Amino acid sequence: MLARDIMVRDVVCVDMDTRLTEVIHIMEEKGFHHLPVLENDVLVGIISDRDLLRIISPFIGSVSEQSRDKETLNHAAHQVMTRQPLTVKEHSSIEEVISWMGKVAISCMPVVDAENHVVGIISWRDLIHNATY
């Protein structure tokens, strides 16, 4: 089985300058845990829900919230994203995808073409959903 056999093809991506308020909105609305980040339609990074937890103030929405807490929401995607994320090609084997995810402890991998355009994404959920027993 190859990456193209199980990847999600309709990938929602954000631009490098997308504000975290919009990133959060997309993730919550779509139920995503990762968003690829593009510059001129080329993959340059990825933002995970864990990245957001690391940067966004835990005081937002609480009685302790201050203006500096809300300011964390004004960061741009490029300030938070993981740069140069590991990727695979459509013809990569699922075994290769699983191996990389396990080696570097990541839970999704963008699938890119030769020009580094995102053509799909594979998460651990996709791997489990498509597992053959």
Delineate the domains of the chain, giving CATH numbers in brackets: 3-129 (3.10.580.10)
Q: Are 35 and 13 in contact (CB under 8 A)?
A: yes
Is the whole-model pTM more than 0.85? Answer: yes
Could you please report the per-residue DSSP string of the chain? -BHHHH-BSS---EETT-BHHHHHHHHHHHT-SEEEEEETTEEEEEEEHHHHHHHS-TTTTSTT--HHHHHGGG-BHHHHSEES---B-TTSBHHHHHHHHHHHT-SEEEEE-TT--EEEEEEHHHHHHT---
Q: What is the mean pLDDT of residues 30-39?
A: 96
pLDDT score of 101:
93
Distance CA(38)–CA(86), nearest Å, equals 14
pLDDT tens digits along 69-127 = 677 788 999 999 999 999 999 999 999 999 999 999 999 999 999 999 999 999 999 98
